[in-house]
Structure 1
Amino acid sequence: MPSLLSSASTPFLPLLALPILYWATTLRKRKPKETNLVFYVHDNFAGDDTSAMTVAGKDGPTTSILEFGTLAAVDDPVTEGPDPKSKKIGRAQGLYINSQLDGKGLYLVFSVIFTDGEYKGSTLEIQGADPFSVKEREFSIVSGTGFFRFVKGYGIMTTEFIDIPNLRAILKLDVTVRHY
């Protein structure tokens, strides 16, 4: 019976080492790309262009998103500029839940689905706290598809416009991601 050491000196050892060496040398050369994006999400709970709605809360679906514990579904337009008539490049689809006792903070979980432009067919998965009473807040990019496969990153959300009585807002998302 051959010993372990004698089997290591067989001609198959170099063949096993070649894929490992190739992987080790190419992995070090692969650097992540960094992409910076700026786009606008139009969040409308009222009007002819409603794109968000409350689905649950203490008074059922009639509860305002401004009340603690309220859950809303969104399918908001995403545009290149802050003007609602600027070029549409995607949709922001997902959920908001009001998770702050005083009602001034949301927890976001949504996908930005690019439907036009350079990133058409790709997505970014966003989640994090949104204390919307603060002008500028940070969120996480936790995943992505297509162009953004293996992405990780962060974004800064800024309220460009807010109309609380009519529950309408335009949010600027300034995103920095690293991906391969």
Structure 2
Amino acid sequence: MTLFIQEFRRANAASIVAVAGIPGKPRDFFQFGTVFVADYLITQGIQLNSQQVGRAQGFFATSSLDGANLQLLFSLGFTNKEYNGSTLELQGTSVQLAKVREIAVVSGTRKFRFVKGYATLETIQQPSMDYSVRRFNITIRQC
């Protein structure tokens, strides 16, 4: 399954925001201890106006002292006809500067009950610092 995550960082329409961090330190992706929450649009294609299939909601934190890794925990909630009401639960360590990152699919609900697998993610379009698109390639199997 291939999905596209649409990320916005504009102040008035942000789909991701830093909510905690070390006092006196910048709240950014490479600062140890910074925690973010996100609510991303999931689309079927790379374009923003392609068919919406759900939302990716969760949080992540810069979890390594050198700022190289993020710890992710996300629920992909589906709203499209085929998987409506089903979720996939993803978690793992994301090496921030790696071209392709891999995280675990640890479970799911409804049509994805008892699944296990993995997801690769990569930033495939970043026309500005306010907007980017990530491709998730998800491989799952029933346990």
Taking structure 1 as the reference length, what is the TM-score of the superposition? Answer: 0.72
Taking only the aligned residue pairs, the percentage that are identical comes to 37
Q: Which residue of 2 aligns with 1:174?
A: 137
Task: State which of 35, 39, 47 in structure 1 corresponds to 2:3.
Answer: 39
Structure 2 gaps of 5+ residues are none
Secondary structure of residue in 2 paired with 1:116: coil
Q: Distance in 2 between matches of 1:99 and 1:69?
A: 6
Task: State which of 52, 72, 77 in structure 1 corresponds to 2:41.
Answer: 77
Decide which structure has greater strand share. 2
Greater radius of gyration (CA): 1
1:50-97 deviations in Å (ceiling 9; x for gaps): 111111011489712331110011111111111122111100001010
Secondary structure of residue in 2 paired with 1:97: strand
**Residues 1:43 and 1:57: Cα distance change in structure 2 (over 3 Å):** same
Moved over 4 A (4+): none
Letter of the structure 2 residue corresponding to residue 77 of structure 1: L
Pick which of 52-61 and 82-91 moved more.
Answer: 52-61
Q: Distance in 1 between matches of 2:29 and 2:62?
A: 6
Structure 1 gaps of 5+ residues are 1-36
Decide which structure has greater helix share. 1
Taking structure 2 as the reference length, what is the TM-score of the superposition? Answer: 0.89
Letter of the structure 1 residue corresponding to residue 6 of structure 2: H
How many pairs align?
Answer: 143
| Matching of residues 154-173 of structure 1 within 5 Å | 154-162=118-126, 166=129, 168-173=131-136
**Residues 1:142 and 1:93: Cα distance change in structure 2 (over 3 Å):** same
Secondary structure of residue in 2 paired with 1:147: helix
